[in-house]
Structure 1
């Protein structure tokens, strides 16, 4: 995960809110459907711990996704993610609503927000937030217009990689890791 790019670390140092897409970011992007119409998704457990580490450090994590799924709501609840917006193709409009309707009074500024995405619907948010990130297997155009790209693919540890980058930039990663000894 190591990055020596000071511009990226500087951007990451200011992050107070990490927003995530789901399909292709929290999952590998494949959709599984059973014979009875049920939908299945696989989530990476290390990504989940990365989310918990961010939350433990006072960084809020949220989800903005174009699809709607009970599985996403369940996973978000398991991880204590309260900010969950599903079924919104226009993710920038969803983000602007979050900022306008901030009921918990966090008053986030765009430069304090990171977004991790993988495909074209994520690009408007990626290009406007303080730290716009693409997963390793993101669409080339998205990767080209992101501030940084993970070395891990979506659903395979990309969220954890970004979480550790943010924690490293904020000088909290080492103490968090040492707590596990």
Structure 2
């Protein structure tokens, strides 16, 4: 496993070491000890979630607040997504900055999104199966969000706007400046 920095403090790309032969491939998706050794961050996860979405679906920008904040380790198991992390930690040197990366079943990359970040993704393939490992349990009362097309964040979701499919909740999220995080 290789850990690569992103422009955002404490947010990392995880690249697995893949062993391939004529039978297929094998790789270690996650190793808590290696992760902690390479990043100095806690890598203990307590909840796994999977979502399946169609082309154009945009999920985000979401977060859990307060004592229910979650760090996430995300990957795309099938298809292709554009994954985005936004640093919403007001005391961070990268507060208000965004990072996006294409995650695919083929590249097998993962993104570690720390607590205090907003997170979302857009589906670029016909369908995508997306995996989230979370280090804290979900709590509905602790949900937070930021408007997906916030002008201050100016995120390029890699989709034509007319193709974007949103939940009702994501259509009415507050802006970055309104900040409910």
Q: TM-score range by the shorter chain?
A: under 0.3
Please state which structure has a larger fraction of its residues in helix. 1
Q: TM-score, normalised by structure 2?
A: 0.26
Name the structure with the higher strand share.
Answer: 2
